[in-house]
Amino acid sequence: MREGWVRVSPVFILGAVALYFALLLGIAGWTSRRADTAGYFLGNRNSPWLVVAFGLIGDSLSGVTYISVPGQVGTAQCSYLQVVLGYVAGYVIIAEILLPLYYRLQLTSIYSYLGQRFGRGAQRTGSAFFLLSRLLGAGARLYLAANVFQAFVFDDLHVPFALTVSVIIGLILVYTLRGGIKTLVWTDTFQSAFLVLGVVLSIALIAREMALGPSGLWHAVWESPLSRVFFFDDWRSPAYFWKQFLSGAAIAVVMTGLDQNAMQKNLSCRSLGDARKNIYAFTGVMVVVNAAFLALGVLLFRFATAQGLPVPAQTDHLFPTLALHHLGPLAALVFIIGLTAATFNSADSVLTTLTTSFCIDFLAFGSASDRSPGSETRIRRAVHLVFAVLLLGVILAFKRFNNGAVITLVLDLAGYTYGPLLGLFVVGLFTRLHPRGNAVPVVCILSPLICWQLSAHSAEWFHGYRFGFELLIFNGALTAAGLALLAAFPDHRRNPAS
């Protein structure tokens, strides 16, 4: 740390956050003018594809990538890039198979497809798993960012964590409650810009502190033992390449292609062609940005070692510790603005898409003739507020029970909660099976429970084999097998499409 540099004050940090939020609120006010229900759900299907693509960067990266991916380098090296390369294959599947289906059916909630294919029971089951998945995933992401603010700002001001999170969610409600997707397409683009700028400037500032030019920077990362990416030596390890690559493809399909949160923005594009261009543009930038975050992690550990600084026991705190205490005011400002972008981006679109899925799939918005537009607007806003309260509860639960790196936690949760969605869509898209709607929820609940037991005892039962992110694929396959078994015993009392 340079002589004369001191710990950045909480007042400085709060001032930066306040300025950022003022800009965000200005964008939200401009975009939400004359926003109606169609604008809230799908932005009147008039969103520019390039804006959507850039906005998806921040939504997919969020605070987990910003903090947890660099911190995870110390224990998993750069193996996460194997998962990211798998994402590329998954996004191709989304662009070439799922998007054409969604646009052909003119869907608002993508789980309406399950209703058309298997019946309302399957639609509600798919939607319920999305609601659970996104509440847990968004809660983990927002918990990570809020926890950093708490540790480095609000603890000094003696503000309790529950109040910190409540204020963050309250600020998000200010600009999402009215405009929905019509607003989020633009605010997410604004936030993505600051998120990407944060990692680029952080790398530059660390390089300056270590007196590294472009060539020296490259060698510092490349020659570090932490920069290892590919792991082919032990197929039983969770870091084995093919397990991570195939899991990454499956994660991309389910957490983007079968996820209302990501697809709702894609469906707001003007046409299928624009939506495809959006996906492919986003994919390229996503790989580069994730590689940059891993390189940042290598540099953070190398800087800490060179300066004789202890690495925090919770590696998620390494980046904020160095940025706020050891790299000077400019690095602190860059970190705070990037983290603020990640914080708001982690939850704003989630509240909107959770509301959309619940209103369409459970309350049958758009098909109930006894509701006036004004009545639907009031109900929609009430549902939006309820999900904000539920999100607060999830974050407080993570604060109470989580001890590990949040990026691993988020992907582990995806393995259990998105597996049934994967199985439902695979059977729907690639078979002509018609499993009984009343028993579909039972299969979708049993599959994750079986996978949980397998994961807990895999080393004991399978000669040292340990499940990694590939548990998602197995979960989906188990769900599909259960649905096929149901279809072998058709229920003649009901029409499968009813």
By mean pLDDT, which of 135-139, 238-242, 434-438, 446-450 is the weakest? 434-438
The phi-psi region of residue 237 (left if phi > 0; otherwise alpha if psi is between -120 and 50; otherwise beta) is beta
Tokens at residue 182, please?
A: 């019509």
Residue 47 phi, psi (nearest 5): -85, 130
Q: Tell whether the model's pLDDT for residue 92 goes beyond 90.
A: yes
Residue 79 phi, psi (nearest 5): -65, -20
Cα angle 400-406-411, degrees, rounded to a multiple of 5: 120
Tokens at residue 433, please?
A: 């099976």
How far CA 300 is from CA of 56, 67, 283, 305, 348, in Å, comes to: 26, 11, 26, 9, 29
Residue 452 phi, psi (nearest 5): -60, -45
Cα angle 426-345-378, degrees, rounded to a multiple of 5: 80
Other beta carbons within 10 angstroms of residue 30's beta carbon come to 11
Tell me the domains of the chain and their CATH numbers.
10-399 (1.20.1730.10)
Contact by Cβ (8 Å): 95, 272:
no
- Please give the share of the chain, as a percent, with pLDDT higher than 70: 83
Give the torsion sign (CA, 414, 319, 10, 22): negative
* pLDDT, position 482: 93
* pLDDT, position 424: 93
Bigger pLDDT: 392 or 24?
392
107's CB contacts (< 8 A; 6+ apart) are 113, 267
* pLDDT, position 35: 52
In three-state form (DSSP H/G/I as H, E/B as E, the rest C), the secondary structure along 6-66 is CCCCHHHHHHHHHHHHHHHHHHHHHHCCCCCHHHHHHHHHCECHHHHHHHHHHHHHHHHHH
Mean pLDDT for the stretch of residues 58-73: 73
Bigger pLDDT: 436 or 288?
288
pLDDT digits over 452-473, tens only?
A: 888 777 777 877 777 766 788 8
Tokens at residue 118, please?
A: 């298997």
Beta bridge partners of 47: 269
- Please give the share of the chain, as a percent, with pLDDT higher than 90: 13
* pLDDT, position 492: 47
Mean pLDDT for the stretch of residues 252-261: 84
* Rounded CA separation 96/91 (Å): 9
Contact by Cβ (8 Å): 418, 255:
yes
Cα angle 267-290-332, degrees, rounded to a multiple of 5: 110
* pLDDT, position 22: 82
Among the residues of 155-307, which ranges form H helices?
161-176, 181-209, 214-222, 241-252, 260-266, 272-307
By mean pLDDT, which of 116-120, 277-281, 286-290, 493-497 is the weakest? 493-497
Mean pLDDT for the stretch of residues 291-316: 85
Q: Tell whether the model's pLDDT for residue 496 goes beyond 50.
A: no
In one-letter notation, the amino acid at residue 373 is: P
Mean pLDDT for the stretch of residues 36-59: 62
* Rounded CA separation 294/72 (Å): 9
Contact by Cβ (8 Å): 202, 322:
no
pLDDT digits over 352-380, tens only?
A: 888 888 988 888 886 655 777 678 888 88
Mean pLDDT for the stretch of residues 124-153: 82
The phi-psi region of residue 328 (left if phi > 0; otherwise alpha if psi is between -120 and 50; otherwise beta) is left
Cα angle 407-412-418, degrees, rounded to a multiple of 5: 115
By mean pLDDT, which of 49-53, 188-192, 211-215 is the weakest? 49-53
Other beta carbons within 10 angstroms of residue 283's beta carbon come to 20
* Rounded CA separation 118/153 (Å): 50
Cα angle 204-208-212, degrees, rounded to a multiple of 5: 95
- Residue 402's pLDDT band (cuts 50, 70, 90): low
Bigger pLDDT: 204 or 29?
204
* pLDDT, position 59: 66
Closest CA relative to residue 38, chosen from 371, 309, 407, 365: 365
Q: Tell whether the model's pLDDT for residue 406 goes beyond 50.
A: yes
In one-letter notation, the amino acid at residue 360 is: I
* Rounded CA separation 346/230 (Å): 29
